[in-house]
């Protein structure tokens, strides 16, 4: 019983660290109060996750890199991009393009746009860019609800395009407009990019039958400059580029993520921890999430509810995406600042009468 009370007490206060939790379970086992099955339950990922969330007062993980639309943060560039895409879709524009560095929120923007379109739109979302032209058209057909008939793989490109056109016409008669969203297009083969242009030929005398929105990294611009697909570039009517957060947006971004998961206990990161987090992430949302998540784990492992500078430093050192050059800089900067402050204090003390 003593061991059980010890588990409950530590979970209610600040949540036991891994060593303390194991010691509690060992006490219970020695007392004969629980068996191996219950011990496994205490050490299961679900149990550990629950204690982590309770420790910080989260309803769910605030810095997950999974692009859930409720975490969408309307920074200047992302909100302007969303507004631009929504207007362009309503106007019936043919091709639109959104580019941005890795981690700036292209996929989340795409999903936010899809969620905002409503039932009068039929959206085909293609995540895999490594498709040959026929495979792309077949994937689009599947997304639009066309069954894979026998001998589908033997059809020619123009035949599949004709099937797509008939399906799009059917959807238009039902009052639905077709929008195709393609992610990571910078990795798409040149011949498949050229095949995308053929989709713009699906039109009536009055308007386009479908709209295409492509998302990709800055390398997409280079691919679109390829001579063989210059016609595709000419048909892109709207373009927007996502950028990292500004310094002001960075603080609001952190607060936004915490408010979404129901955090309300006051300050979670010290000012120095936030400073280093913003500097090393370059205020790119995905890197912010990765570093903040690791820093929280560091604080949790020590039983602390406030993320310190050292927690962010450990997160930086543990993140390969930031490169090896970042490992020594934070400590050198911190020690240099500490020495400066110490020297100033010593000077003022010596100046006293």
Helix (H, G, I), strand (E, B) or coil at 258: helix
What are the pLDDT digits (tens) for 225-241? 888 888 888 888 889 99
What are the pLDDT digits (tens) for 153-184? 667 777 888 888 889 999 999 999 999 999 99
What are the pLDDT digits (tens) for 103-148? 999 999 999 999 999 889 999 999 887 888 888 888 888 898 887 7
- Which one of 3.40.50.10490, 3.40.50.300, 3.90.228.20, 3.90.78.10 gives the CATH number of domain 76-242? 3.40.50.300
> What is the average per-residue pLDDT within 57-65?
91
Per-residue pLDDT at 198: 82
| 5 exposure class (CB count in 10 Å sphere: 0-12, 13-18, 19+) | exposed
Taking the C-alpha atoms of residue 182 and residue 33, their distance in angstroms, rounded to an integer, is 56
Per-residue pLDDT at 3: 37
| Whether the Cβ atoms of residue 7 and residue 21 lie closer than 8 Å to each other | yes
Per-residue pLDDT at 129: 78
- 161 or 42, which is more confident: 161
Q: Is residue 72 pLDDT above 90, yes or no?
A: yes
Per-residue pLDDT at 353: 52
Per-residue pLDDT at 8: 36
**Do the domains at 76-242 and 247-351 have one common CATH topology?**
no
What are the pLDDT digits (tens) for 189-224? 999 988 888 887 777 667 778 899 999 999 999 888
Per-residue pLDDT at 272: 96
In the sheet with 177-182, reading across from the earlier edge strand, the strands are 121-126, 177-182, 210-216, 95-100, 236-242
Per-residue pLDDT at 67: 75
Cα 129 to Cα 139, 196, 215, 241, 334: the distances in Å are 11, 12, 10, 20, 44
Mean pLDDT estimate for the chain:
80
Query: How large is the C-alpha radius of gyration of the chain?
Result: 27
Per-residue pLDDT at 116: 93
Taking the C-alpha atoms of residue 93 and residue 87, their distance in angstroms, rounded to an integer, is 9
At the top level of CATH, the class of 247-351 is: mainly alpha
Domain boundaries, the chain: 2-56, 76-242, 247-351
Q: Select the highest-mean-pLDDT range: 8-17, 79-88, 204-213, 229-238.
A: 79-88
Per-residue pLDDT at 202: 77
């Amino acid at each position: 019983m003593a061991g059980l009370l010890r588990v409950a007490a530590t979970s209610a206060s600040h949540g036991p660290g891994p060593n303390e939790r194991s010691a509690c379970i060992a006490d219970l086992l020695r007392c004969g109060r629980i068996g191996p099955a219950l011990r496994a339950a205490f050490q299961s990922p679900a149990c550990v996750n629950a204690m982590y969330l309770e420790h910080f007062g989260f309803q769910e993980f605030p810095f997950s890199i999974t692009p859930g639309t409720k975490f969408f943060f309307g920074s200047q560039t992302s909100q302007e991009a969303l507004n631009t895409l929504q207007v362009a879709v309503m106007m019936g524009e043919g091709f639109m393009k959104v580019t941005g560095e890795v981690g700036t929120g292209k996929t989340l923007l795409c999903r936010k746009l899809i969620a905002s379109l409503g039932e009068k739109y039929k959206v085909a979302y293609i995540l895999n860019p490594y498709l040959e032209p026929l495979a792309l058209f077949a994937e689009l057909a599947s997304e639009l609800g066309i069954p894979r008939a026998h001998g589908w793989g033997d059809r020619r490109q123009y035949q599949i395009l004709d099937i797509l056109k008939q399906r799009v016409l059917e959807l238009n008669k039902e009052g639905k407009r077709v929008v195709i969203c393609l992610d990571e297009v910078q990795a798409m083969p040149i011949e498949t990019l050229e095949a995308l242009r053929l989709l713009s030929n699906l039109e009536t005398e009055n308007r386009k039958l479908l709209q295409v929105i492509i998302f990709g990294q800055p390398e997409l611009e280079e691919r679109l400059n390829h001579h063989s697909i210059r016609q595709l570039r000419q048909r892109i009517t709207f373009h927007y580029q996502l950028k990292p957060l500004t310094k002001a947006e960075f603080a609001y971004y952190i607060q936004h993520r915490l408010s979404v998961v129901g955090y309300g206990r006051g300050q979670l990161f010290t000012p120095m921890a936030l400073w280093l987090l913003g500097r090393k992430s370059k205020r790119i949302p995905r890197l912010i999430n990765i570093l903040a998540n690791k820093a929280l784990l560091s604080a949790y492992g020590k039983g602390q509810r406030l993320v310190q500078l050292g927690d962010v430093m450990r997160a930086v050192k543990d993140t390969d995406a930031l490169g090896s050059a970042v490992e020594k800089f934070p400590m050198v900067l911190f020690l240099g600042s500490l020495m400066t402050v110490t020297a100033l204090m010593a000077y003022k003390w010596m100046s006293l009468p």
